[in-house]
């Protein structure tokens, strides 16, 4: 009998909770970033792949080691108060240049930190697709959307190798701190590409590998050079960049076959006084 991704994840976590040894496939590295709350484990990608007959996962892609997926039990960490200061998320939202009526996607949405913000901007005439492989994340997201009386968010539980998005639909797909976790980067990039409108963009947000002051584990950071190495051969072109987030790259990729090259917009640096970098962890 087939089990679902959620049951595989839950059974893995119960092993940990029971203090039983995990198998080598389960022996994951520490939480994704400096401080992912109580999530002591990553999700059990190997079991999900076997049980759902998904193509084999990559461990490296174009010279980069792929990071493990953050477990939903750490979801509370995604809502931490310091996030605005560390990631200037208000500036990020502004730079996405969202407008009422847009159809957008928060891919790897987690519990919806950005989905809810986007839903408020695109409004009732627009729509946000919040997509995640962990149904528990989507349940948490739906509860948050209900509490905020937002009715324009649709959730999709996707597969590790398939974003499961409608084709030719999106003005923007946002990926915050998730792309580096994709176990099937090429399949995901292809699926995203098909789902973009001709002039749609992927907004990629990744912690800067080039900056040793960004207190995030190396496997969960990416350099611009690496990002370009992965996106350009997969049918994307770089259309815009914003280099002023405190810790992260923000790069916009369009379809290579589109004609929407945009000039570099004038940008303001996020006020370092209002968003000072926190102390490095011990
Ligand atoms: C570090 S969390 C970031 C969540 C959210 N983007 C945020 O910034 O609050 C990464 C999320 O990506 C999801 N994820 C990992 N691989 C995925 C894939 N192939 N498709 C969709 N979601 C994925 C994980 O389940 C997790 O919820």
Alpha carbons 182 and 189: distance in angstroms, whole number? 10
- Pair 45, 93 in one domain: no
- Pair 139, 246 in one domain: yes
Please choose, from the candidates 163, 205, 171, the residue with its C-alpha nearest in 3D space to the C-alpha of residue 187.
Answer: 163
DSSP for residue 246 = S
pLDDT at 276: 34
Q: Please indicate whether residue 92, judged by its CB atom, sits closer than 6 Å to ligand 1.
A: no
pLDDT at 106: 99
Domain hosting 52: range is 5-59
Q: Please indicate whether residue 36, judged by its CB atom, sits closer than 6 Å to ligand 1.
A: no
- Pair 102, 143 in one domain: yes
Chain centroid to Cα 259, Å, comes to 26
pLDDT at 52: 73
- Pair 160, 227 in one domain: yes
Asked if residue 46 is part of any domain, the answer here is yes
104: domain CATH number? Answer: 3.40.50.150
pLDDT at 44: 74
Mean pLDDT by 10 residues, the chain (282 residues): 39 29 27 41 71 88 97 97 97 98 98 98 98 98 98 98 98 98 98 98 98 97 98 98 98 90 46 34 30
Asked if residue 168 is part of any domain, the answer here is yes
pLDDT at 210: 98
Asked if residue 270 is part of any domain, the answer here is no
Q: Which two tokens stand for residue 40?
A: 């002591």
User: What domain count does the chain have?
Assistant: 2
Ligand 1 pocket mutation pick from 67, 138, 181 by most atoms within 8 angstroms of CB: 181
- Pair 102, 180 in one domain: yes
Alpha carbons 27 and 184: distance in angstroms, whole number? 20
Output the pTM of the full model: 0.81
Asked if residue 84 is part of any domain, the answer here is yes
State the distance from the centre of ligand 1 to the C-alpha of 106, rounded, in angstroms.
Answer: 9
């Amino acid at each position: 009998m087939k089990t679902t991704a959620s049951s595989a994840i839950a059974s893995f976590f119960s092993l940990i909770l029971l203090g039983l040894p995990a198998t080598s496939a389960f022996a994951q590295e520490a939480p994704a970033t400096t401080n992912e709350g109580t999530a002591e484990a990553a999700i059990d990608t190997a079991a999900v792949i076997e049980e759902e007959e998904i193509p084999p996962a990559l461990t490296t892609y174009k010279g980069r080691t792929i990071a493990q997926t953050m477990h939903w039990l750490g979801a509370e960490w995604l809502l931490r108060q310091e996030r605005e200061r560390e990631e200037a998320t208000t500036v990020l939202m502004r730079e996405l240049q969202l407008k009422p009526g847009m159809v957008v996607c928060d891919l790897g949405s987690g519990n919806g930190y950005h989905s809810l913000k986007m839903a408020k901007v695109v409004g009732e005439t627009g729509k946000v697709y919040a997509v995640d492989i962990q149904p528990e994340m989507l349940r948490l997201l739906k509860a948050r959307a209900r509490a905020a009386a937002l009715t324009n968010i649709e959730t999709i539980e996707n597969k590790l190798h398939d974003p499961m998005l409608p084709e030719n639909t999106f003005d923007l797909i946002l990926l915050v701190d998730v792309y580096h976790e994709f176990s099937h980067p090429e399949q995901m990039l292809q699926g995203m590409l098909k789902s973009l409108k001709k002039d749609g963009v992927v907004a990629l947000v990744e912690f800067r590998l080039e900056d040793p002051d960004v207190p995030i584990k190396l496997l969960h950071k990416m350099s611009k050079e690496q990002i370009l190495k992965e996106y350009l051969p997969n049918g994307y072109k770089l259309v815009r960049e914003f280099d002023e987030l405190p810790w992260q790259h923000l790069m916009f990729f369009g379809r290579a076959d589109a004609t929407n090259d945009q000039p570099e917009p004038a940008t303001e640096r996020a006020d370092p006084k209002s968003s000072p970098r926190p102390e490095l962890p011990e």
